[in-house]
Amino acid sequence: MTKTAVITGSNSGIGLGVAHALAAEGHNVVINSYSDRDEDHALAREIAEKHGNKTLYIKADMSKADECRALITKAAAEFGCVDIVVNNAGIQHVAAIEDFPVETWDRIIAINMNSSFHTMAAALPMMREAGWGRIVNIASAHGLTASPYKSAYVTAKHGVVGMTKVVALETAEDPITCNAICPGYVLTPLVEAQIPDTMEKYGMDRDTVVREVLLERQPSKQFATVEQIGGTVVFLCSPNAEQITGTTISVDGGWTAL
């Protein structure tokens, strides 16, 4: 049966991969970012044309509580309900904690963690009324472990994992599940764009930079792909995952096994 999925932060990278995966299953899809460009709406049309589904782009700044909630209500107004929420929006900044800009801390916490609270709070009443719902929070290996100089990101992702467990318990007797996916390094356009600068910085070739710098903590020495993350989301939304709730699924090449 066709469901409606909202994926935050989904005009590129992991979010876009998830959008394609859910669209390929025949679901309605709402993609999102903070911009409102012709390219954003064209991307929604491309997804619809490729998969034969209905796809809509809705602008929302995920650092703002009212816009997070409005994203859900606008999607429901268009499609009648929001059945699947994939909280993917996120940003990063690297600095020692004593040097971490306060405004940047607040923005990372707002986008990477608080936005998930607002979208879930807005969507859960709809899911209960419809008698079905799936929430998938894209956390990170940094939701289970830590790295130096990433205090805001690590804090936010740990918070997302904790919030996932709380929502799962609150919906345990409903036909609603809430889980978190914890990727390690995923080969996205953003990561790909970092490779040439890293090669220059360390004086290494591409393969060496990937294995010894970017994937230093990923034992498989291979990137996860956006398709693999999308496939994991599809699984969590399938009947086979009806009794999977309140847990994390690591897609990290063994990172958190260390």
pLDDT grade, residue 18 (50/70/90)? very high
How far apart CA 77 and CA 71 sit, in angstroms, is 10
Percentage above 70 pLDDT, the chain = 100
Q: Is the dihedral of CA 171, 174, 176, 177 positive or negative?
A: positive
Read off the pTM.
0.97
| 184 CB-near residues (< 8 Å, 6+ apart) | 140, 141, 217, 218, 224, 250, 251, 252, 253, 255, 256
149 is catalytic: no
Could you report the per-residue pLDDT of 92-136, keeping only the tens digit for each? 999 999 999 999 999 999 999 999 999 999 999 999 999 999 999
Here the tokens at position 103 are: 């405004």
- Active-site hit among 149, 153, 185, 202: 153
Here the tokens at position 195 are: 């490779």
Closest Cα to residue 90, out of 14, 197, 147?
14
What stretch(es) of the chain map to CATH 3.40.50.720? 4-186+225-257
Domain 4-186+225-257, CATH 3.40.50.720 — does that match? yes
How far apart CA 91 and CA 2 sit, in angstroms, is 31
Predicted local confidence at residue 1, as pLDDT = 85
pLDDT, average across residues 165-170: 98
